[in-house]
Amino acid sequence: MDKADVLILGSGGAALQLAGKLDAEKNVIIITKSFMDHGNTSLAQGGIAAAIDEKDNSLFHFMDTMTAGRFVNNHQAALQLTIEGPAVIRELIKSGCAFDHDAFGKLTLGKEGAHSLNRIVHGGGDQTGKILMNCLKTVLPPNVKVMEHHFAFELLINVSGHCYGVRTKDKQGNVQTFHASHIVLATGGCGQIYSCTSNAETATGDGMALAYFAGAELADMEYMQFHPTLLYINDEGKGLISEAVRGAGGILVDEKERRVMKNVHPLLDLAPRHVVSQTIFKQRQQGHEIFLDIRGIEHFTKKFPFIAKLCMSEGIDVSEGFIPVAPGCHFSMGGVKTDTVGRTTIKGLYAIGEVACTGVHGANRLASNSLLEGLVFAKTLAHHLNTTAPYSHKDDGIHKKNLPSDYTLPVRTHLQKRMMDKVGIFRDIDNLEAQQKWLESFSLNRWHTFDIGMLTTEQITTLFMLQTAWLVTNSAIQREESRGGHYRLDFPAERMDWRNQQVIQKRIDEKRKLHEPVKT
């Protein structure tokens, strides 16, 4: 058994930012199920939003964040994000982060959907995530130990309700136990529960399922953001085409070169993501093909080298000026419910980054606020942990049943396709209830009572995807309105009586009704 002061599950931008800002005398262990760069942060293209231009200010950024989130954002969290953003960018520059500058040494700032001003800091043209990860890894202090290929499958909770550790499986399938004063979920999102997604293959909702099985509250799981422009070939999403392409002058057109966003939204191609995604989806349902027209962007390959390479690898010649696109699952606004420090509803357990839900994004994340969220709230949590005395929780031991002989799990691709078809961009009660019934046929109400360490890591991954899919589906059933990333065909309008309500989900003791959602 290994012990640490702080145990971080995940190795993306939020995890490394936290680890790098913890006091040097703390024993910090980062556990990641794959290798450090195998996650969504490294795939991030567009950049990091921050009000650093002299014409910009944090209030403008705050208002854009609120507008994109359809005004159900946590105001305190959104203010914290936008006010602290510029300082975080300056700290990264000071530590050597290679953001793009113009010929005069000034940061080049891009513009993306629903932003009122150019405020997107980027690196390597369209490789900001990679640049950020390289920087954070370089400054990682020696008190941080990284353990790759360790799959966390259970949070340890004692009878007092405190989280005191985690169980993992290594590459050989051996089970190991880690104890710590503080356990932090930084496991990322859950885009892989859908068949078409921009997410890394590691984004399977692990942290959300771990927290739910442990008894933590989750919130806003119905709010799933579908990015409007994934490279789409032969009915498959092949990778993300950054919104920065539209910010640089790309426009959406159909097969006859008619503008898709004309007369849809005042911001045209830079409308909020849910508006653009829903419009493209409707156009495709009507039999149209949709393309990103990049003919108006000079030196496209130089400005977007990664995207150009991606297109070329899939047989698309960018010099012809048209990239075939379709929406795909991109980001979860919901997750493990936390306060603005990162504390969950379980003592000793914290969450930061996409796995967490502070409410900062509301119903729809503003473009390029994701990397910023991880950086800002990881810094806040580091300050909290640095000023909190270490303590140990009592280990009550593990008392779980062996697996039943009759357990079943779905074929993963079937799960992903069903989620795309029934809980995708457009939803209705018939499809949602059909999906809920199908998900519950896999005995979700009893998995937390078994020792799932007896499963393989592939089986556990499927189980976590199954549980996370249920959380999204059940939340979508509960929210009887359309708002941001959640669109109900049977409730197509925003409703004022839902504006101040949030769907909270928590596993209830078996003696009561399991999976009982509550609204606050």
Query: For 252-301, what is each residue's pLDDT tens digit?
Result: 999 999 999 999 999 999 998 899 999 999 999 999 999 999 999 999 99
The reported pTM is 0.94
Q: pLDDT, tens digit, for every residue of 432-447?
A: 999 999 999 998 888 9
Domain spans, the chain: 1-43+141-223+333-520, 227-329
* Token couple for 493: 């309008």
Count the Cβ atoms, other than its own, within 10 Å of residue 430: 11
User: What is residue 406's predicted lDDT score, i.e. its pLDDT?
Assistant: 82
- Digit-coded pLDDT (tens) for 88-138: 999 999 999 999 998 888 999 998 888 999 999 999 888 999 999 999 999
The upper half-sphere exposure of residue 508, i.e. CA atoms within 13 Å in the direction of its Cβ, equals 10
Q: What's the 3-state SS for 69-124?
A: CCCCCCHHHHHHHHHHHHHHHHHHHHCCCCCCECCCCCECEECCCCCCCCCEECCC
State the Cα torsion 420-426-430-431 to the nearest 10°.
0
CA distance 156 to 396: 9
What burial letters (b/e) apply to 180-203, b meaning 16+ CB within 10 Å?
bbbbbbbbbbbbbbbbbbbbbebb
Q: Which residues are catalytic?
A: 273
Q: Is 434 exposed, middle or buried (0-12, 13-18, 19+ CB in 10 A)?
A: middle
Residue 473 pLDDT more than 60?
yes
pLDDT at residue 512 is higher than 50: no
Residue tagged 């014409």 (tokens) = 55
Q: What is the per-residue pLDDT across 35-65, written as a single tens digit (0 to 9) for each?
A: 888 788 988 887 999 999 999 999 999 999 9
55 burial via Cβ count (<10 Å: 0-12, 13-18, 19+): exposed
pLDDT at position 158 over 50: yes
- What pLDDT score does 398 carry? 63
Question: What is the mean pLDDT of the segment spanning 479-502?
Answer: 96
Equal CATH topology for 1-43+141-223+333-520 and 227-329: no
1-43+141-223+333-520: CATH homologous superfamily? FAD/NAD(P)-binding domain (3.50.50.60)
Q: Domain spanning 227-329 has what CATH number? A: 3.90.700.10
